[in-house]
Protein backbone atom coordinates (compact mmCIF):
# COMPACT_ATOMS: atom_id res chain seq x y z
CA UNK A 1 0.00 0.00 0.00
CA UNK A 2 1.08 3.57 -0.60
CA UNK A 3 1.83 5.65 2.47
CA UNK A 4 -1.18 7.92 1.94
CA UNK A 5 -3.46 4.86 1.98
CA UNK A 6 -2.46 3.86 5.50
CA UNK A 7 -4.26 4.74 8.71
CA UNK A 8 -2.56 6.90 11.31
CA UNK A 9 -2.07 3.80 13.47
CA UNK A 10 -0.34 1.95 10.62
CA UNK A 11 1.83 4.97 9.88
CA UNK A 12 2.82 5.26 13.55
CA UNK A 13 3.95 1.62 13.56
CA UNK A 14 6.10 2.12 10.46
CA UNK A 15 7.57 5.31 11.86
CA UNK A 16 8.36 3.75 15.25
CA UNK A 17 10.10 0.81 13.58
CA UNK A 18 11.98 3.22 11.27
CA UNK A 19 10.57 1.40 8.26
CA UNK A 20 9.88 4.85 6.90
CA UNK A 21 10.77 8.39 7.94
CA UNK A 22 8.53 11.28 8.94
CA UNK A 23 9.83 13.30 5.97
CA UNK A 24 8.88 10.47 3.58
CA UNK A 25 5.41 10.30 5.12
CA UNK A 26 4.92 14.06 4.94
CA UNK A 27 6.08 14.15 1.33
CA UNK A 28 3.70 11.32 0.39
CA UNK A 29 0.72 13.28 1.64
CA UNK A 30 1.96 16.54 0.10
CA UNK A 31 2.20 14.75 -3.26
CA UNK A 32 -1.27 13.27 -2.77
CA UNK A 33 -2.70 16.74 -2.12
CA UNK A 34 -0.97 18.07 -5.24
CA UNK A 35 -2.46 15.32 -7.41
CA UNK A 36 -6.05 15.52 -6.12
CA UNK A 37 -6.67 19.05 -4.86
CA UNK A 38 -7.74 20.46 -8.22
CA UNK A 39 -10.65 17.99 -8.14
CA UNK A 40 -11.63 18.26 -4.46
CA UNK A 41 -10.78 21.76 -3.20
CA UNK A 42 -10.43 20.38 0.33
CA UNK A 43 -7.87 22.94 1.46
CA UNK A 44 -8.08 26.65 1.99
CA UNK A 45 -4.29 26.64 1.95
CA UNK A 46 -1.54 24.05 2.18
CA UNK A 47 1.62 24.28 4.28
CA UNK A 48 4.15 21.85 2.76
CA UNK A 49 7.17 23.76 4.11
CA UNK A 50 5.77 23.66 7.64
CA UNK A 51 4.95 19.94 7.35
CA UNK A 52 8.42 19.03 6.09
CA UNK A 53 10.15 21.15 8.74
CA UNK A 54 8.12 19.51 11.52
CA UNK A 55 8.71 16.05 10.04
CA UNK A 56 12.47 16.66 9.82
CA UNK A 57 12.52 17.61 13.52
CA UNK A 58 10.78 14.32 14.37
CA UNK A 59 13.29 12.29 12.35
CA UNK A 60 16.19 14.04 14.06
CA UNK A 61 14.68 13.46 17.50
CA UNK A 62 14.06 9.78 16.74
CA UNK A 63 17.62 9.37 15.45
CA UNK A 64 18.90 10.92 18.67
CA UNK A 65 17.03 8.32 20.70
CA UNK A 66 14.41 10.66 22.14
CA UNK A 67 11.17 9.13 23.37
CA UNK A 68 8.36 10.20 21.05
CA UNK A 69 4.61 9.89 21.17
CA UNK A 70 2.77 7.45 18.90
CA UNK A 71 1.61 10.18 16.49
CA UNK A 72 5.02 11.79 16.03
CA UNK A 73 5.56 12.19 12.30
CA UNK A 74 1.91 11.60 11.36
CA UNK A 75 0.42 14.41 9.22
CA UNK A 76 -2.69 16.35 10.23
CA UNK A 77 -4.95 18.98 8.64
CA UNK A 78 -6.74 21.70 10.61
CA UNK A 79 -10.12 23.25 9.86
CA UNK A 80 -9.66 26.89 8.92
CA UNK A 81 -11.24 28.27 12.09
CA UNK A 82 -8.47 26.89 14.31
CA UNK A 83 -6.05 29.76 14.87
CA UNK A 84 -2.55 29.11 13.56
CA UNK A 85 0.10 31.63 14.48
CA UNK A 86 1.30 33.56 11.44
CA UNK A 87 -0.70 31.36 9.05
CA UNK A 88 -3.87 32.72 7.47
CA UNK A 89 -7.11 31.76 9.23
CA UNK A 90 -10.22 32.87 7.35
CA UNK A 91 -13.11 30.76 8.72
CA UNK A 92 -14.19 30.52 5.09
CA UNK A 93 -15.14 34.22 5.15
CA UNK A 94 -14.04 37.25 3.15
CA UNK A 95 -14.21 39.31 6.32
CA UNK A 96 -11.10 37.50 7.61
CA UNK A 97 -9.23 37.27 4.32
CA UNK A 98 -5.54 37.78 5.04
CA UNK A 99 -5.95 37.50 8.82
CA UNK A 100 -2.96 35.87 10.50
CA UNK A 101 -3.53 35.14 14.18
CA UNK A 102 -0.81 36.07 16.67
CA UNK A 103 -1.30 32.79 18.57
CA UNK A 104 -2.18 29.10 18.09
CA UNK A 105 -5.31 27.29 19.20
CA UNK A 106 -4.69 24.90 22.09
CA UNK A 107 -5.39 21.87 19.90
CA UNK A 108 -2.90 23.10 17.31
CA UNK A 109 -0.26 23.41 20.02
CA UNK A 110 -1.03 19.93 21.35
CA UNK A 111 -0.76 18.36 17.91
CA UNK A 112 2.53 20.12 17.24
CA UNK A 113 3.93 19.06 20.62
CA UNK A 114 2.91 15.48 19.79
CA UNK A 115 5.16 15.74 16.73
CA UNK A 116 2.41 15.85 14.11
CA UNK A 117 3.06 17.55 10.77
CA UNK A 118 0.52 20.19 9.66
CA UNK A 119 -0.17 19.84 5.93
CA UNK A 120 -2.71 22.66 5.68
CA UNK A 121 -5.96 24.42 6.64
CA UNK A 122 -9.17 22.89 5.31
CA UNK A 123 -12.13 24.55 3.60
CA UNK A 124 -15.39 25.05 5.49
CA UNK A 125 -18.79 26.72 5.43
CA UNK A 126 -18.36 30.36 6.39
CA UNK A 127 -17.99 30.61 10.18
CA UNK A 128 -19.13 26.96 10.33
CA UNK A 129 -22.65 27.91 9.25
CA UNK A 130 -23.78 25.24 6.84
CA UNK A 131 -24.14 21.54 6.10
CA UNK A 132 -22.54 21.23 2.66
CA UNK A 133 -19.39 23.42 2.48
CA UNK A 134 -21.16 25.35 -0.27
CA UNK A 135 -21.24 28.42 1.98
CA UNK A 136 -17.50 28.94 1.85
CA UNK A 137 -16.68 32.35 0.43
CA UNK A 138 -13.80 30.86 -1.55
CA UNK A 139 -14.66 27.50 -3.09
CA UNK A 140 -16.95 24.48 -2.97
CA UNK A 141 -15.38 21.26 -1.71
CA UNK A 142 -16.38 18.07 -3.55
CA UNK A 143 -17.18 14.63 -2.17
CA UNK A 144 -14.45 12.11 -3.12
CA UNK A 145 -17.10 9.42 -3.71
CA UNK A 146 -18.88 11.55 -6.31
CA UNK A 147 -17.44 14.87 -7.40
CA UNK A 148 -20.92 16.12 -8.28
CA UNK A 149 -21.94 15.76 -4.61
CA UNK A 150 -21.21 17.78 -1.48
CA UNK A 151 -19.01 16.35 1.30
CA UNK A 152 -21.29 17.69 4.05
CA UNK A 153 -20.40 20.53 6.35
CA UNK A 154 -19.30 22.60 7.90
CA UNK A 155 -16.10 20.52 8.25
CA UNK A 156 -16.43 19.32 4.67
CA UNK A 157 -12.85 20.12 3.74
CA UNK A 158 -11.53 18.05 6.65
CA UNK A 159 -13.81 15.12 5.77
CA UNK A 160 -12.89 15.18 2.08
CA UNK A 161 -9.17 15.39 2.88
CA UNK A 162 -9.23 12.29 5.10
CA UNK A 163 -11.46 10.35 2.68
CA UNK A 164 -9.20 11.05 -0.30
CA UNK A 165 -5.94 10.29 1.52
CA UNK A 166 -4.80 13.91 1.62
CA UNK A 167 -4.34 13.59 5.40
CA UNK A 168 -4.72 10.60 7.74
CA UNK A 169 -6.29 12.80 10.44
CA UNK A 170 -8.03 16.16 10.32
CA UNK A 171 -9.53 18.29 13.05
CA UNK A 172 -12.95 19.85 12.66
CA UNK A 173 -15.48 21.54 14.88
CA UNK A 174 -19.05 20.49 15.61
CA UNK A 175 -21.77 22.98 16.58
CA UNK A 176 -24.79 21.12 15.23
CA UNK A 177 -23.26 18.13 13.45
CA UNK A 178 -20.34 19.65 11.56
CA UNK A 179 -17.99 16.73 12.27
CA UNK A 180 -20.41 13.80 12.26
CA UNK A 181 -22.53 14.76 9.23
CA UNK A 182 -19.62 15.22 6.78
CA UNK A 183 -18.01 12.07 8.22
CA UNK A 184 -21.24 10.25 7.39
CA UNK A 185 -21.49 11.64 3.86
CA UNK A 186 -17.83 10.82 3.18
CA UNK A 187 -17.77 7.36 4.80
CA UNK A 188 -15.22 8.00 7.56
CA UNK A 189 -15.15 8.17 11.37
CA UNK A 190 -15.97 11.45 13.09
CA UNK A 191 -16.18 12.19 16.82
CA UNK A 192 -17.82 15.12 18.55
CA UNK A 193 -16.48 14.95 22.11
CA UNK A 194 -18.46 15.98 25.16
CA UNK A 195 -18.66 19.75 25.57
CA UNK A 196 -15.63 20.65 27.70
CA UNK A 197 -13.56 17.57 26.88
CA UNK A 198 -11.37 19.49 24.38
CA UNK A 199 -10.19 23.09 24.74
CA UNK A 200 -11.90 25.69 22.56
CA UNK A 201 -9.20 28.31 23.12
CA UNK A 202 -8.14 29.61 19.73
CA UNK A 203 -11.26 28.27 18.00
CA UNK A 204 -13.05 31.14 16.26
CA UNK A 205 -16.48 31.05 17.89
CA UNK A 206 -19.81 30.43 16.20
CA UNK A 207 -22.04 29.43 19.15
CA UNK A 208 -20.00 29.21 22.32
CA UNK A 209 -22.28 26.87 24.28
CA UNK A 210 -22.39 24.39 21.39
CA UNK A 211 -18.98 24.45 19.62
CA UNK A 212 -16.61 21.56 20.22
CA UNK A 213 -13.38 20.43 18.51
CA UNK A 214 -13.03 16.82 17.41
CA UNK A 215 -11.28 14.49 14.95
CA UNK A 216 -12.15 13.06 11.54
CA UNK A 217 -10.24 9.86 10.87
CA UNK A 218 -10.29 6.72 8.76
CA UNK A 219 -11.28 4.48 11.64
CA UNK A 220 -12.08 4.45 15.34
CA UNK A 221 -8.57 3.40 16.35
CA UNK A 222 -7.16 6.58 14.80
CA UNK A 223 -9.83 8.66 16.55
CA UNK A 224 -8.78 7.13 19.87
CA UNK A 225 -5.14 8.01 19.19
CA UNK A 226 -5.75 11.67 18.40
CA UNK A 227 -8.24 12.08 21.26
CA UNK A 228 -5.47 11.10 23.67
CA UNK A 229 -3.53 14.09 22.29
CA UNK A 230 -6.19 16.81 22.19
CA UNK A 231 -8.41 15.95 25.19
CA UNK A 232 -7.97 17.43 28.65
CA UNK A 233 -8.43 20.53 30.76
CA UNK A 234 -6.29 23.61 30.15
CA UNK A 235 -6.10 26.92 32.07
CA UNK A 236 -6.73 28.94 28.89
CA UNK A 237 -10.30 27.59 28.48
CA UNK A 238 -12.56 28.00 31.50
CA UNK A 239 -15.13 25.68 29.90
CA UNK A 240 -12.71 22.77 29.57
CA UNK A 241 -13.59 20.17 32.19
CA UNK A 242 -11.08 19.08 34.82
CA UNK A 243 -11.90 15.40 34.37
CA UNK A 244 -9.32 12.65 33.95
CA UNK A 245 -8.68 11.61 30.34
CA UNK A 246 -8.73 7.82 29.79
CA UNK A 247 -6.22 5.93 27.68
CA UNK A 248 -8.62 5.79 24.75
CA UNK A 249 -6.44 3.55 22.59
CA UNK A 250 -5.96 0.96 25.34
CA UNK A 251 -9.66 0.83 26.15
CA UNK A 252 -11.10 0.31 22.65
CA UNK A 253 -10.39 -3.42 22.79
CA UNK A 254 -12.71 -3.99 25.77
CA UNK A 255 -15.63 -6.42 25.67
CA UNK A 256 -18.99 -4.97 24.58
CA UNK A 257 -21.26 -7.94 25.25
CA UNK A 258 -23.82 -7.21 27.92
CA UNK A 259 -24.10 -3.52 27.08
CA UNK A 260 -27.52 -1.99 26.49
CA UNK A 261 -28.26 0.28 23.53
CA UNK A 262 -31.29 2.47 22.94
CA UNK A 263 -32.64 3.44 19.52
CA UNK A 264 -34.62 6.72 19.81
CA UNK A 265 -37.81 6.28 17.78
CA UNK A 266 -37.85 10.02 17.03
CA UNK A 267 -34.50 9.69 15.18
CA UNK A 268 -35.29 6.59 13.13
CA UNK A 269 -38.73 7.44 11.73
CA UNK A 270 -40.12 10.36 9.77
CA UNK A 271 -37.61 12.31 7.71
CA UNK A 272 -35.09 9.46 7.38
CA UNK A 273 -34.66 7.97 3.92
CA UNK A 274 -35.83 4.31 4.04
CA UNK A 275 -32.56 2.99 2.58
CA UNK A 276 -30.54 4.89 5.20
CA UNK A 277 -32.80 3.54 7.95
CA UNK A 278 -32.31 0.00 6.66
CA UNK A 279 -28.51 0.33 6.84
CA UNK A 280 -28.66 1.59 10.43
CA UNK A 281 -31.12 -1.12 11.50
CA UNK A 282 -28.80 -3.72 9.95
CA UNK A 283 -26.03 -2.29 12.12
CA UNK A 284 -28.32 -2.56 15.16
CA UNK A 285 -28.82 -6.24 14.31
CA UNK A 286 -25.05 -6.64 14.08
CA UNK A 287 -24.73 -5.25 17.59
CA UNK A 288 -27.36 -7.70 18.83
CA UNK A 289 -25.31 -10.55 17.38
CA UNK A 290 -22.36 -9.20 19.38
CA UNK A 291 -24.31 -9.58 22.63
CA UNK A 292 -25.60 -6.02 22.98
CA UNK A 293 -29.25 -5.58 23.94
CA UNK A 294 -30.93 -3.06 21.63
CA UNK A 295 -34.40 -1.60 22.08
CA UNK A 296 -36.40 1.45 21.02
CA UNK A 297 -36.66 4.37 23.44
CA UNK A 298 -38.95 7.39 23.46
CA UNK A 299 -37.40 10.88 23.65
CA UNK A 300 -40.37 13.16 22.88
CA UNK A 301 -38.63 16.51 23.30
CA UNK A 302 -36.05 15.73 20.61
CA UNK A 303 -38.67 16.80 18.06
CA UNK A 304 -38.11 20.41 19.17
CA UNK A 305 -34.33 20.31 18.63
CA UNK A 306 -34.25 22.09 15.28
CA UNK A 307 -36.13 25.27 16.30
CA UNK A 308 -34.35 25.33 19.68
CA UNK A 309 -30.98 25.09 17.96
CA UNK A 310 -31.71 27.83 15.43
CA UNK A 311 -32.71 30.20 18.21
CA UNK A 312 -29.80 29.51 20.55
CA UNK A 313 -27.09 29.15 17.89
CA UNK A 314 -28.09 32.27 15.96
CA UNK A 315 -28.37 34.32 19.15
CA UNK A 316 -24.86 33.32 20.18
CA UNK A 317 -23.59 33.91 16.65
CA UNK A 318 -25.03 37.42 16.60
CA UNK A 319 -23.11 38.13 19.80
CA UNK A 320 -19.85 36.46 18.77
CA UNK A 321 -19.71 37.97 15.29
CA UNK A 322 -20.26 41.53 16.55
CA UNK A 323 -16.47 41.78 16.90
CA UNK A 324 -16.03 41.95 13.11
CA UNK A 325 -16.59 45.64 12.60
CA UNK A 326 -13.95 46.73 10.10
CA UNK A 327 -12.00 48.61 12.77
CA UNK A 328 -9.77 46.28 14.76
CA UNK A 329 -9.02 43.53 12.22
CA UNK A 330 -10.54 41.85 9.22
CA UNK A 331 -12.13 43.39 6.15
CA UNK A 332 -12.73 47.16 6.04
CA UNK A 333 -14.77 48.72 3.25
CA UNK A 334 -13.01 50.87 0.66
CA UNK A 335 -16.18 52.86 0.02
CA UNK A 336 -16.75 56.33 1.43
CA UNK A 337 -18.52 56.29 4.80
CA UNK A 338 -20.53 58.92 6.65
CA UNK A 339 -19.73 57.84 10.20
CA UNK A 340 -18.58 54.89 12.31
CA UNK A 341 -21.94 53.14 12.02
CA UNK A 342 -21.82 53.40 8.25
CA UNK A 343 -18.31 51.89 8.37
CA UNK A 344 -19.63 48.97 10.44
CA UNK A 345 -22.58 48.38 8.11
CA UNK A 346 -20.62 48.52 4.85
CA UNK A 347 -17.69 46.45 6.13
CA UNK A 348 -19.95 43.73 7.53
CA UNK A 349 -22.23 43.77 4.50
CA UNK A 350 -19.27 43.22 2.17
CA UNK A 351 -17.41 40.76 4.39
CA UNK A 352 -20.18 38.40 5.48
CA UNK A 353 -21.89 36.00 3.09
CA UNK A 354 -25.69 35.63 2.85
CA UNK A 355 -26.01 32.67 5.27
CA UNK A 356 -23.98 34.44 7.95
CA UNK A 357 -25.94 37.67 7.53
CA UNK A 358 -29.20 35.71 7.82
CA UNK A 359 -28.16 34.01 11.05
CA UNK A 360 -26.92 37.27 12.57
CA UNK A 361 -30.28 38.90 11.84
CA UNK A 362 -32.22 35.95 13.25
CA UNK A 363 -30.11 35.96 16.41
CA UNK A 364 -30.37 39.71 16.85
CA UNK A 365 -34.15 39.46 16.58
CA UNK A 366 -34.31 36.62 19.13
CA UNK A 367 -32.31 38.69 21.62
CA UNK A 368 -34.10 41.98 21.01
CA UNK A 369 -36.22 43.77 23.61
CA UNK A 370 -39.69 42.31 23.79
CA UNK A 371 -38.73 39.03 22.12
CA UNK A 372 -36.01 37.65 24.43
CA UNK A 373 -38.45 35.86 26.75
CA UNK A 374 -40.65 34.59 23.93
CA UNK A 375 -37.82 33.10 21.88
CA UNK A 376 -34.33 32.79 23.38
CA UNK A 377 -35.38 32.16 26.97
CA UNK A 378 -38.05 29.66 25.95
CA UNK A 379 -35.54 27.86 23.74
CA UNK A 380 -33.19 27.47 26.70
CA UNK A 381 -36.01 25.99 28.76
CA UNK A 382 -36.83 23.45 26.05
CA UNK A 383 -33.11 22.69 25.79
CA UNK A 384 -33.29 21.60 29.41
CA UNK A 385 -36.12 19.20 28.52
CA UNK A 386 -33.97 17.73 25.74
CA UNK A 387 -31.13 17.21 28.22
CA UNK A 388 -33.59 15.43 30.52
CA UNK A 389 -34.66 13.16 27.66
CA UNK A 390 -31.06 12.02 27.27
CA UNK A 391 -30.61 11.60 31.03
CA UNK A 392 -33.68 9.38 31.14
CA UNK A 393 -32.49 7.32 28.18
CA UNK A 394 -29.01 6.85 29.66
CA UNK A 395 -30.46 5.71 32.97
CA UNK A 396 -31.22 2.36 31.32
CA UNK A 397 -28.84 2.32 28.35
CA UNK A 398 -25.08 2.56 27.93
CA UNK A 399 -25.32 4.27 24.56
CA UNK A 400 -27.83 5.27 21.89
CA UNK A 401 -27.95 4.56 18.14
CA UNK A 402 -29.43 6.56 15.26
CA UNK A 403 -28.65 7.54 11.68
CA UNK A 404 -26.14 10.38 11.48
CA UNK A 405 -27.63 11.99 8.38
CA UNK A 406 -31.17 11.42 7.11
CA UNK A 407 -29.79 11.11 3.56
CA UNK A 408 -26.63 10.23 1.71
CA UNK A 409 -24.62 12.97 0.03
CA UNK A 410 -26.70 15.23 -2.20
CA UNK A 411 -25.72 17.03 -5.39
CA UNK A 412 -23.94 20.38 -5.31
CA UNK A 413 -26.62 23.05 -5.62
CA UNK A 414 -29.50 20.62 -5.01
CA UNK A 415 -30.61 22.26 -1.76
CA UNK A 416 -29.18 25.74 -2.33
CA UNK A 417 -32.62 27.25 -2.91
CA UNK A 418 -34.34 25.25 -0.16
CA UNK A 419 -32.95 26.42 3.20
CA UNK A 420 -35.38 24.26 5.20
CA UNK A 421 -34.23 21.05 3.51
CA UNK A 422 -30.62 22.10 4.08
CA UNK A 423 -31.23 22.61 7.78
CA UNK A 424 -33.07 19.28 8.05
CA UNK A 425 -29.74 17.63 7.15
CA UNK A 426 -28.82 18.04 10.82
CA UNK A 427 -31.98 16.70 12.48
CA UNK A 428 -30.16 13.69 13.94
CA UNK A 429 -27.01 15.49 15.06
CA UNK A 430 -28.30 18.73 16.61
CA UNK A 431 -29.81 17.14 19.77
CA UNK A 432 -26.36 15.91 20.83
CA UNK A 433 -24.92 19.44 20.76
CA UNK A 434 -27.87 20.82 22.72
CA UNK A 435 -27.32 18.14 25.37
CA UNK A 436 -23.53 18.64 25.36
CA UNK A 437 -22.86 14.89 25.11
CA UNK A 438 -20.55 12.89 22.85
CA UNK A 439 -21.46 11.57 19.40
CA UNK A 440 -19.54 9.27 17.06
CA UNK A 441 -20.16 8.59 13.38
CA UNK A 442 -19.26 5.14 12.10
CA UNK A 443 -19.77 4.06 8.45
CA UNK A 444 -22.44 1.34 8.21
CA UNK A 445 -23.31 0.84 4.55
CA UNK A 446 -23.89 2.34 1.11
CA UNK A 447 -26.91 3.60 -0.81
CA UNK A 448 -26.44 4.26 -4.54
CA UNK A 449 -22.66 3.91 -4.07
CA UNK A 450 -22.64 6.68 -1.44
CA UNK A 451 -21.75 6.09 2.24
CA UNK A 452 -24.25 5.84 5.11
CA UNK A 453 -23.25 6.70 8.68
CA UNK A 454 -24.50 5.42 12.03
CA UNK A 455 -24.43 7.78 15.01
CA UNK A 456 -23.49 6.45 18.44
CA UNK A 457 -24.35 8.71 21.38
CA UNK A 458 -22.84 8.40 24.86
CA UNK A 459 -23.10 9.78 28.35
CA UNK A 460 -21.09 12.92 29.14
CA UNK A 461 -17.33 12.22 29.14
CA UNK A 462 -17.80 8.57 28.13
CA UNK A 463 -16.07 8.88 24.78
CA UNK A 464 -14.19 5.71 25.75
CA UNK A 465 -17.45 3.72 25.68
CA UNK A 466 -18.40 5.10 22.25
CA UNK A 467 -14.93 4.39 20.87
CA UNK A 468 -15.09 0.85 22.25
CA UNK A 469 -18.47 0.01 20.71
CA UNK A 470 -17.54 1.80 17.49
CA UNK A 471 -14.28 -0.16 17.25
CA UNK A 472 -16.11 -3.42 17.97
CA UNK A 473 -18.48 -2.72 15.07
CA UNK A 474 -15.56 -1.95 12.77
CA UNK A 475 -13.86 -5.19 13.78
CA UNK A 476 -17.00 -7.07 12.72
CA UNK A 477 -17.60 -5.15 9.45
CA UNK A 478 -15.54 -3.63 6.67
CA UNK A 479 -17.52 -0.52 5.70
CA UNK A 480 -14.79 1.74 7.14
CA UNK A 481 -12.18 0.17 4.87
CA UNK A 482 -13.92 1.22 1.64
CA UNK A 483 -12.16 3.97 -0.30
CA UNK A 484 -13.28 5.99 -3.33
CA UNK A 485 -11.47 5.42 -6.60
CA UNK A 486 -9.85 8.80 -7.19
Instruction: Check residue 421 and give its pLDDT.
Output: 85
249 located within any domain: yes
- Model pLDDT for residues 194-212, shown as the tens digit of each residue: 999 999 999 999 999 999 9
Mean pLDDT on 346-372: 95
Catalytic residue among 42, 93, 178, 405: 178
Residue 79 annotated as catalytic: yes
In this model, does residue 339 exceed pLDDT 90?
yes
227 located within any domain: yes
Mean pLDDT on 385-393: 98
115 located within any domain: yes
- Model pLDDT for residues 139-162, shown as the tens digit of each residue: 999 999 999 999 999 999 999 999
Q: What is the reported pTM?
A: 0.97
Instruction: Check residue 29 and give its pLDDT.
Output: 98
Question: How many domains does the chain contain in total?
Answer: 1
- Name the DSSP letter for residue 373: I
Percent pLDDT > 90 in the chain is 96
Mean pLDDT on 333-348: 94
Mean pLDDT on 275-290: 98
Mean pLDDT on 448-458: 98
Domain that holds residue 424: 3-261+398-481
405 located within any domain: yes
Distance set, CA 388 to CA 199, 391, 456 (Å):
25, 5, 18
- Model pLDDT for residues 13-44, shown as the tens digit of each residue: 999 999 999 999 999 999 999 999 999 999 99
56 located within any domain: yes
- Name the DSSP letter for residue 397: -
Give me the chain's average pLDDT, please.
Answer: 97
In this model, does residue 1 exceed pLDDT 90?
no
Mean pLDDT on 328-350: 93
In this model, does residue 486 exceed pLDDT 90?
no
Mean pLDDT on 460-467: 98
Catalytic residue among 79, 110, 121, 192: 79
Written as one string, the DSSP assignment of 469-482 is HHHHHHHH--GGG-
465 located within any domain: yes
Mean pLDDT on 68-97: 98
Q: Mention every residue, 6+ apart, whose C-beta is less than 8 A from residue 255.
A: none
Instruction: Check residue 223 and give its pLDDT.
Output: 98
In this model, does residue 420 exceed pLDDT 90?
no
34 located within any domain: yes
CA distance 126 to 360: 13
pLDDT band at 416 (very low <50, low <70, confident <90, very high): confident
Cα angle, residue 105 at apex, residues 100 and 106 outer, rounded to 5°: 160
Mean pLDDT on 322-338: 92
CATH of the domain at 12: 3.90.1300.10
Catalytic residue among 21, 131, 136, 154: 154
Instruction: Check residue 173 and give its pLDDT.
Output: 98
Mean pLDDT on 328-339: 92
- The answer to whether residues 216 and 188 touch, using CB atoms and an 8 Å cutoff, is yes
CA distance 307 to 287: 33
Mean pLDDT on 212-230: 98
- The answer to whether residues 456 and 401 touch, using CB atoms and an 8 Å cutoff, is yes
Amino acid sequence: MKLYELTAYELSERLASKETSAVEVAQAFIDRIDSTEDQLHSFMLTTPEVALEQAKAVDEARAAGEELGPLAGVPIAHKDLLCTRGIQTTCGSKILEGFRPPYDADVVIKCREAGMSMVGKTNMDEFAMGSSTENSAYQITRNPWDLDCVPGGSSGGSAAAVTAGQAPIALGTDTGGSIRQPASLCGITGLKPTYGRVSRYGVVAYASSLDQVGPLTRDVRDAAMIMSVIAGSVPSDATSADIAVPDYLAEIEGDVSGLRAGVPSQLIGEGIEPEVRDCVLAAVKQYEEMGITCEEVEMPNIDYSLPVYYLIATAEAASNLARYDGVRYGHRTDRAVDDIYDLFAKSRGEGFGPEVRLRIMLGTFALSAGYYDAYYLKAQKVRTLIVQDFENAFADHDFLISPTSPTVAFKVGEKADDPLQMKLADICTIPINLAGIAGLNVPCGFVDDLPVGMQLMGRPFEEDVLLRVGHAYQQATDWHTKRPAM
